[in-house]
């Protein structure tokens, strides 16, 4: 494996520092929400995790398009890496949302349009990994994976806009909230600053993890190429 780039090492430290600072802002800088209390603090990382999930799937779709036009396998590695990261953070988003919902909605889960579409999105990309496992030829696997990543991305804007398109009790954090939505709240300037800093921090986390995963993916690709040569 190639020597770890110095810039990646710097990114590791910057990302860790940002995460520590963001955590501190969530618990010690952002004021306590008057109605929901302490559980509202979950929302800063809940939304940020959802942002990383959707950003990951967008990167995967773009990489899929580039792969289909160039047939360069490095873009398949980028797409796979982004989707794996996206699945993890989308799951964090769903779980943290359930933690918030228990005291606010008095239930861990409800088939609200936002929750339902988020779960469907998660399952769609989980199926992407299963599809890849069933195809042994690397080029064919990359081609099918690219098409799937592009088509599967339809679920991402549907999930994002579901709270705006359908009747839902899920609060709309970015944009105007529906009147009377359960859990609706207005952010103070300090809350907004914490929220934006959390989004920035998680964007750095995504970039850092993606870079690491791509490096691992390149190594795995080389191992597979060597294995195929020995079989031949």
3-class SS string, the chain: CCCCCHHHHHHHHHHHHHHHHHHHHHHHHCCCECCCEHHHHHHHHHHHHHHHHHHHHHHHHHHHHHHHHHCCHHHHHHHHHHHHHHHHHHHHHHHHHHHHHHHHHCCCCCCCHHHHHHHHHHHHHHHHHHHHHCCCCHHHHHHHHHHHHHHHCCHHHHHHHHHHHCCCCCCCCCCCCCCCCCCCCCCCHHHHHHHHHHHHHHHHHHHHHHHHHHHHHHHHHHHHHHHHHHHC
Q: Give 180's pLDDT tier (boundaries 50, 70, 90).
A: very low
* Residue 230 is assigned to a structural domain of this protein: no
User: Are residue 149 and residue 171 in the same domain, yes or no?
Assistant: yes
User: Are residue 55 and residue 170 in the same domain, yes or no?
Assistant: yes
Residue 149, pLDDT above cutoff 50: yes
Can you give the pLDDT at residue 223?
Answer: 87
User: Are residue 165 and residue 53 in the same domain, yes or no?
Assistant: yes
User: Are residue 64 and residue 24 in the same domain, yes or no?
Assistant: no
Residue 98 CB neighbours (<10 A)? 17
Can you give the pLDDT at residue 110?
Answer: 80
Residue 176, pLDDT above cutoff 60: no
User: Are residue 18 and residue 70 in the same domain, yes or no?
Assistant: no
Q: Give 114's pLDDT tier (boundaries 50, 70, 90).
A: confident
Q: How many domains are there within the chain? A: 2
Q: Average pLDDT, whole number, for the chain? A: 88
Can you give the pLDDT at residue 170?
Answer: 65
Mean pLDDT within 153-182: 69
Best-predicted range by mean pLDDT (123-127, 133-137, 188-192): 123-127
Instruction: Let me know if 212 is exposed, middle or buried by CB neighbors in 10 A (0-12, 13-18, 19+).
Output: middle
Under a CB-based contact definition with an 8 Å cutoff, are residues 91 and 52 in contact? no
* Residue 26 is assigned to a structural domain of this protein: yes
Residue 185, pLDDT above cutoff 60: no
User: Are residue 78 and residue 108 in the same domain, yes or no?
Assistant: yes
Q: Give 169's pLDDT tier (boundaries 50, 70, 90).
A: low
Can you give the pLDDT at residue 93?
Answer: 94
Q: Give 73's pLDDT tier (boundaries 50, 70, 90).
A: very high
Q: Which domain holds residue 129?
A: 40-198
Q: Give 174's pLDDT tier (boundaries 50, 70, 90).
A: low
Q: Which of 2-6, 24-28, 138-142 has the lowest mean pLDDT?
A: 2-6
Q: Give 221's pLDDT tier (boundaries 50, 70, 90).
A: confident
User: Are residue 73 and residue 187 in the same domain, yes or no?
Assistant: yes
């Amino acid at each position: 494996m190639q020597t770890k780039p110095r810039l990646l090492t710097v990114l590791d430290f910057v990302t860790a520092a940002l995460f520590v600072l963001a955590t501190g802002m969530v618990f010690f800088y952002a004021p306590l929400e008057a109605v929901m209390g302490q559980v509202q603090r979950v929302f800063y990382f809940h939304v940020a995790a959802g942002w990383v999930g959707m950003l990951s799937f967008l990167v995967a779709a773009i990489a899929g398009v580039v792969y289909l036009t160039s047939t360069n396998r490095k873009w398949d590695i980028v797409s796979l890496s982004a989707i794996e990261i996206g699945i993890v953070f989308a799951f964090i988003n769903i779980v943290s949302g359930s933690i918030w919902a228990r005291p606010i909605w008095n239930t861990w889960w409800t088939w609200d349009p936002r929750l339902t579409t988020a779960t469907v999105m998660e399952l769609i990309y989980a199926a992407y990994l299963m599809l890849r496992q069933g195809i042994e030829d690397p080029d064919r696997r990359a081609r099918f994976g690219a098409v799937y990543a592009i088509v599967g991305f339809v679920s991402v804007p549907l999930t994002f806009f579901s709270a705006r398109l359908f009747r839902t009790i899920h609060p709309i954090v970015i944009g105007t909230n529906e009147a009377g939505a359960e859990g609706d709240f207005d952010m103070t300037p300090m809350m907004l600053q914490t929220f934006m800093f959390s989004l920035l921090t998680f964007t750095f986390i995504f970039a850092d993890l993606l870079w690491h995963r791509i490096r691992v993916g390149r190594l795995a690709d080389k191992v597979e190429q060597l294995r195929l040569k020995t079989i031949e």
